[in-house]
A and B are shown apart, each in its own frame.
Chain A
Amino acid sequence: MSDEYKMTATTTAPVIEPGHTFASVTDKISSIVLTRPASNGWFLGFGIAFLATMMLLYAIGYLFIRGVGIWGITIPIGWGFAIVNFVWWIGIGHAGTLISAILLLLRQSWRNSINRFAEAMTLFAVSCAGLFPLLHVGRPWLAYWLFPYPSTMGVWPQFRSPLMWDVFAVSTYATISLLFWFMGLIPDFGTLRDRATNPWIRLVYGMLAMGWRGSARHWHRYETAYLLLAGLATPLVLSVHTVVSFDFAVGIVPGWHTTIFPPYFVAGAIYSGFAMVLMLAIPIRKIYGLEDFITSRHLQNSAKVMLATGLIVAYGYGIEAFMGWYSGESYDAFLLWNRLHGPYAPWYWSLLACNIFIPQLLWIRKLRTSPLALFLISFVILIGMWLERFIIVVVSLSRDFLNSSWGQYYPTRWDWMTYFGTIGMFLAAMFLFCRLLPMISIFEMRTLLPQAEGKAAEAAE
């Protein structure tokens, strides 16, 4: 730990409460998985999330039988909830990668308490996101045509299309996220294997630990590989959402065709991602008594990240509005007017409230340290970021160039079922994750202890 860190640690809340030892940290975290019985609350929560997942399967089944017409999409609004949700979920995933990769490289060791479940969140969010491009195509059984495979007909995808770039961006992202997450888990799998009493559980964790013995050579290779993966993942934090934003920026639709989209999308992604991290961390630390590990400092730091990215997003809105006026382009000027006064004006105003006005409360220290306030603000931000994608996708398409072709979008119950279904799937996966895997990185936590000063690599038993 750097000196600088120590200095700040004394002035603000600590990243780990005092009084913990290597053993207590390990006990605390591994016991959640190994010894703590599943509570009724867990079963209830998991049950609800599981039912929602089943609802998703039902909605998908009906979709495959009937076609995408069951959704509210139409001409001119060819993309609706599916793309909105896709962008939203991908954005949420970004916080995980940012925390695990970028903060690692920047030696922000406070991240150690939250990186594990943030990465899990990324993985599950990307899984949810990855569903939508497949579901939203008219002929999903042919969706593999988007992949550049050597077809006997010699037909290749069309490489100029941003959707094509999406395929690469998202699949790379999903792969790296999975590898990163799994690699980070390996030392902890070793711990769990060693502590498990049930031979079957030991066997399972043993297999997952892939022969981890915690030797110095293992640690050396582990650290190198982890750092390399972090290095690989870092550009992805910026590139994935940049590519996603190209889906819109490359199009000529007013409200899409703008160069500010890449940074504005990345900032928005991190914004919503941290909101989701807080939405998950706050109840988890409460329920599992992890306040010692996920301290007020983590919450505050996350809140500050949200505040910063939120301001970048606000700047994006401002620039969009400014360019609408400054460019003198009548379509852009109308776009702005339409957002503020058109049929979707309530949605736009809600978006401004959720993403710009309400999050300004985070300037207040008292609210930053209140888990309940943070939870609520995070919820508002998540809604706001969903609305933002809705405004970009749907509202831009609803009134473009030819007045004769303007339309309105009315989401159907299938749209909602699919959306809530993915939330259910995400939560179900999170519930399982909490019970089956150490949701805080045990060995990395131990490096935060004062005892670990200067000898992080020896932390494993």
Chain B
Amino acid sequence: MSLEIEPIVARLREALPTAGISLRKNPGPSGQHSLLIDSASLIDVCRTLRDTPGLEFDFLSNVTGVDWPVAAKADTIAIPEGEGTAPTGGMLEVVYHLYSTTLRTGPLVLRARTVDREKQVQIPSVVSVFRSAELQEREIFDLYGVIFTGHPDLRRILMWDEFVDHPMRKDYVAPDDYEYEPTPHEAVLEKAKKHYGERQKI
């Protein structure tokens, strides 16, 4: 059951004439085509999809982070219509799967992309439109390093707060002492050493 995506694009373009929306074809057998949304208009698009009668995509099911070290490879999964502009360098991508619980349609696949993988990694948070993104965006921030601007509580979620890297990135190198985790235990031992002084050597 694949969704008729062209009428949705037409309605979105009618409602939001300035928004950057481009249709991307999925070459695989699943037939789940997607819409690449400009970061700047992502929230407006989500709100329109949720609130427009006849679209009513009120349920954001899944949010996926993807790391593309070679950004051009992303266009082989989501093929642009016509020529398109081939992205250069690397980028991070966030994929959203929306459903409608009232009309029982879906999944509508949205994609948003960052400019690169190092500095410009911001994507607006959709939590204000869909609460279900709250924990999932935190997870993507944690594991990929996408900064969701406007997220109410953007902290690490699965890794511990002191962790520095983003483990789901393709070029992540696991540390040699990967079992090391800072715990207060060492501070306690240090304190005990002072407390017992010389006696500890006995």
- Same complex for A and B? Answer no
